[in-house]
Amino acid sequence: MTENLYDADRRALVESILGRVDGPCFLVDPSVEVLEALADYGTTAGALPEIRLLAREPVLKSVRDDFLIAADIADLAEQQGLEIRLLQDGIENTLFVSDGSLYAVVAMEAGAAGLAAEDETFLEDTYATYDDIFETAPSFDLRTPGRTRVGETLEDVLGEQTRADFDAVLASLDSVGDDLDEVAIALLVTAKNEQLLYDVSRWGEDVGMASKATFSRTKTNLEDAGLLDTEKVPIDVGRPRQRLLLGDDALQSADTDELAFVARDLLG
């Protein structure tokens, strides 16, 4: 008998459901919270079942606006083959549908439940329905590089310490926002390690995080706010390049996992 599942934590519920899935699984009409739980579990759990994601465009755009979630979802796509397609019409509850099991996720005040269906004909029909929908659904581009690729390429360009600092700052945050986004964080850890704007902006554009122009504009904003300083570094040919430096005593003395919070305080 298939059992209903209950948990106060969405991540644990997602783990319980996927632990019972055999073969490919459709994740249908998830909320941002369910996708965050999937990202959190999927990037730490090792191998996942093959997941085919059908989600509404507003939900996916909300995920795309949050670098921390989007980079982890992108990681699942790049590392584990998760496919993302658009669901045209929402349904009442999020569904996990595999060949042989179906769980409807129901949010409750004390957590969430995965309510299981058992009728074999219903299960077969539901799986076939979403298989057909997925085949014709348009794909969705998160336009966000996966977290693993971000870290590995950053280390290649700016070294192990800068990658460790970048990872530590991201790990200290629940979200990044307009006042201090992933570009600003990359610039701050580059300044902490007294490295070049040219190198971090070239890396950011190559990896797909943001354009060189965005890095330059963000650098100027942080510099105007007193968070960054620069010094010229002569080169053999062409204009001097800029070495980034932390521009405030509080930032210079902050531990890495406090860097973002100090920067936000300074930005007011």
Is there a single domain that holds both residue 23 and residue 119? yes
Whichever domain contains 123, its CATH number is 3.30.870.10
Percent of the chain with pLDDT over 70: 99
The answer on pLDDT for 1 being more than 60 is no
Is there a single domain that holds both residue 165 and residue 130? no
Is there a single domain that holds both residue 112 and residue 171? no
Tell me what pLDDT residue 235 has: 82
Which residue range is the domain that position 83 belongs to? 5-136
The answer on pLDDT for 60 being more than 70 is yes
Of the three residues 136, 156, 171, the one that is the final residue of a domain is 136
Give, in degrees to the nearest 5, the angle at Cα 110 between 107 and 114.
Answer: 40
Distance CA 230, CA 248 (A): 12
Q: What are 227-244's pLDDT values in tens digits?
A: 999 999 988 777 889 999
* pTM, entire model: 0.91
- The region of weakest confidence among 16-20, 42-46, 150-154 is 42-46
Tell me what pLDDT residue 173 has: 87
Residues 6+ apart with CB under 8 A from 2: 101, 116, 117, 118
Is there a single domain that holds both residue 12 and residue 132? yes
141 in a structural domain? no
Supply φ then ψ for residue 81, to 5 degrees.
80, 15
Average pLDDT, integer, range 247-261: 95
Tell me what pLDDT residue 141 has: 94
Tell me what pLDDT residue 110 has: 78
Tell me what pLDDT residue 241 has: 92
Tokens of 141: 């581009």
- Cα of first residue to Cα of last residue in the chain, in angstroms, is 56
Is there a single domain that holds both residue 162 and residue 98? no
Residues in the chain: 268
Q: What are 171-218's pLDDT values in tens digits?
A: 998 877 777 999 999 999 999 999 999 999 999 999 999 999 999 999
Tell me what pLDDT residue 240 has: 86
Per-residue pLDDT band for 21 (boundaries 50, 70, 90) equals: confident
Tell me what pLDDT residue 213 has: 98
Is there a single domain that holds both residue 122 and residue 21? yes
